[in-house]
Structure 1
Amino acid sequence: MGQKIHPEGFRLGVKRKGDKVDFKSSWYSDRDFADLLGEDLKVRDHIEKKLRRAGIANITIRKAAEQGEVAVDIYTARPGIVIGKGGSEVDALRNELQDLTRKKVQVNVREVSRPELNAQLVAESIAEQLEGRAAFRRTMKRALTSAMRSGAEGCRIRCGGRLGGIEMSREETISEGRVPLHTLDADIEYGFKEAKTQMGQIGVKVWINHGVHDDFADGGR
């Protein structure tokens, strides 16, 4: 039986020398780890459900153990939807998270300036189009071309599930440029989104190689 591992976890501890490892959560606890982890999962789940159409690329959570405060950074391609008119939406979200965690919560909205180079946003865009009954090959090719034209060194897109009404599961993959999935020297970003279509569940996986010249600092992981 094949042994599987998540592409992000595979690369967490093996960044290039001098590079900072970006974790999705930043806190420490030697006694309440399970409770704090469950709190993180609830916060992410609430934000993803509330801001489903806001193009959320990443959510990072930082906690100060002594003060009991939580800082949530939301990386989005559509900050206007998250903030709302006069900041009404982000204020409502902050209040909801404070009721959820029973702690003081600070919400920071970060804009992703180049969503076509963010693997998670590309995967979500493809999944959204597939749910709208778009042709999967054309959708995948359009996203691949857009990423390469925007400066990616390589891109691979894979859709798996019941494609084209065929009962047996299969995967369709297209790629361009250099995407060394098993090489840790390059900066490979991974994104995944599940599309619920008329044909059933379809998983969309995206790998984007930014190489050593990654200059889209606002993209997050």
Structure 2
Amino acid sequence: MGQKVRPTGFRVGVVEDWRSRWYASKKDFGALLVEDQKVRKFIQTKYKFAGIPKVEIERTRDQVVVHLFTARPGIIIGRKGQEVDRLKAELEDLTGRRMELKIIEVDNALQSAALVAEDIAQQLSKRGSFRRTIKRALDQVMETGVHGIKIELSGRLGGAEMSRREKASRGSIPLSTLQRHVDYGFREAHTTFGVIGVKVWIDLGDYSDEENRDGSNAKAGQAPQKPKRTHKR
């Protein structure tokens, strides 16, 4: 099962949290789901180079709270918060609802599968060698201390006449083990030869190990881990 299913979708509701957290009646559900997709697409298109791996959305009766995860918060916040105010106004115009933005900084971009896939896609768009790009990504990610990484490219690689699929991996990627935190990311590289799909899987270890690591520092009398910076608007 894990071989055929997106790893995050396979784990949602078991060990992973939902990306959209709200409740709606049967009548309104479809419209709100489409609205969530519009918000995500708008943010990803407008801030293509801000390093956004995911956007989480919460709804209350009065407002929509958007949790924006980014590796480069400065691009979204802008000078004196002007850019984030503009984004908030544009989202309110798009949805017709009152919005609240929470910008959360991603600590290590190389441990986020979506951001690694984005980096590979950008290199391929700039006509970089796909083999060199894959090798560089594998080396950089493994140096951060992850348990494993797998990369798969699909399309007219190197401008070949016929499209094909290339895979490369290091370490372990236990796709069917639900207690294993396997991050997954997909991006498209738009080249002169067509679109190349980039898929990345990263094994970050057990969920229980991550929880123990967060709590063990405080228990051992060490300084707790630096919390992620959250910017509210």
Q: What TM-score do you get using the length of structure 2 for normalisation?
A: 0.85
Q: Which has the higher helix share?
A: 2
Tell me the residue number matched to 2:152: 158
Moved more, 179-188 or 207-216: 207-216
Tell me the residue number matched to 2:11: 11
Give percent identity, aligned residues only. Answer: 49
Q: Is 1:38 matched with 2:38?
A: no
Q: Secondary structure at the match of 1:211?
A: strand
| Matching residue within 40, 45, 51 for 2:47 | 51
Aligned pairs (5 A) from 1:1-221: 4-15=4-15, 21-30=16-25, 31-65=27-61, 68-212=62-206, 213-214=209-210
CA distance in 2, matches of 1:170, 1:182: 26
CA distance in 2, matches of 1:118, 1:7: 14
In the alignment, structure 1 segments of 5+ residues that lack a partner are: 16-20
Q: Secondary structure at the match of 1:168?
A: coil
* Moved segments of 4+, more than 6 Å: none
Cα distance, 1:4 vs. partner?
A: 5.0
Please give the per-residue CA displacement for 1:146-203, whole angstroms capped at 9, x wherever unaligned.
1111011110011111112222221111111111223323110100001011221100
Aligned partner of 1:11: which letter? R
CA distance in 2, matches of 1:187, 1:4: 17
Please give the per-residue CA displacement for 1:17-73, whole angstroms capped at 9, x wherever unaligned.
xxxx311110001231011111111111111111111111110000003xx200001
Q: Secondary structure at the match of 1:55?
A: coil
Aligned partner of 2:116: which letter? V
Q: Report how many aligned residue pairs link the two structures.
A: 209
Aligned partner of 2:140: which letter? S
CA distance in 1, matches of 2:159, 2:91: 41
CA distance in 2, matches of 1:158, 1:24: 24
- The answer as to whether partners of 2:129 and 2:158 remain within 8 angstroms in 1 is no
Aligned partner of 1:41: which letter? Q
In the alignment, structure 2 segments of 5+ residues that lack a partner are: 215-226, 229-233
CA RMSD, 1 decimal: 1.8
